[in-house]
Structure 1
Amino acid sequence: MAHLERDIPVQVFGLGTVEARITSKIGFKVSGVLVDLRGDVGDRVAKGTVLAHLDDREQRARLARAKAGAEQTQANLEKAMASVEKAKANYANARNINTRRQTLLQTSATSIEQADTAKAAEATALADVNLAESEVAVARAAISDAKAQGQQEAALLDFHTLASPYDAMVVARHKELGSA
């Protein structure tokens, strides 16, 4: 009889539980209806993999409204800046008229009433310049506010997408399509 050598596989059997070393619960930062679900229990996912989407139509509309508001405030700024130029031109004209009237008043070539009217018109025109400049400042502040609103709405839109924060395996799923 010949001696036969061969490898015998070694197997060890035992009872036990395999658990994840680290378990993380992830979810949306906003509420809404689940319209897209990509990860299933047991799936391995890479960092950044999109797992689910909420219905974001309303948020997209709010973002569009914020962008339109920003464009409107930009138009208001341009209008206010044009008003400043117009007010400055009116002030320069009123100042010239007042200077002429005051000169004519010294030689009695015009009435005191006309000179006073010209002086008041110059003061009014200067006030109009100051008002127009303050409207420019208000419009600039409105632009900053509109930009911040747009950034906030864009951030909220991003919260409608759930992505894996790191390489992982899906071990549980608590929502199904259509659930809120």
Structure 2
Amino acid sequence: MTSFAATGLFDRIADHVGAAPLQAADGRADNRRRSVQLSRERVTIDRSYRGIAMRLSVPVSAYQGVCVGVRAGEDGGFVYELRLAHRDPDLSVLLDEARDESRIWAEWRASAGFFGLPALVERNDGPEVWGAMAAPAECRDRRAKRRHRPGIVARRVARPEALGTVHREAEIIARD
């Protein structure tokens, strides 16, 4: 199977140049092929199912992450697969497969950074976020404590409109 890395498509996507869609295997499509086009924002999948042409446009944020997996090769060696993992297996996209472990790990990190998705490692029971390779956690809002203060404390805060109240009348001062 031709991969994104082997065709140089991944490099052209990273350079923001429009690229021709890649033909990928699809067991459920009419001709067992589908056309996949990638960008930072979305994945577009074109295929035909029972004579009906379909175009699926899936935002990249709907994907779980960039997943690396290992399977046994035909000659008894290992084949490393790099895929854009989705909860629906039909929407997952094979980015690359190779026998060179160091190249696939480098592409795994680069792909996760390119798409802004977590880097996942596939295990027998499914993909798993792997340590520091995952996307950073969302920053806590520093104003969160201020928003969750009790109401009485919030009412005691001096407000600008209360400090500068001036009545356009004569000031009344009681002096003994």
Could you say which TM-score interval applies, normalised by the shorter chain? under 0.3
Bigger radius of gyration among the two:
1
- TM-score (norm: length of structure 1): 0.19
Structure with bigger RCO (C-alpha 8 Å, 6+ apart): 1
Q: Normalized per residue, which structure has more helix? A: 1
- TM-score (norm: length of structure 2): 0.20
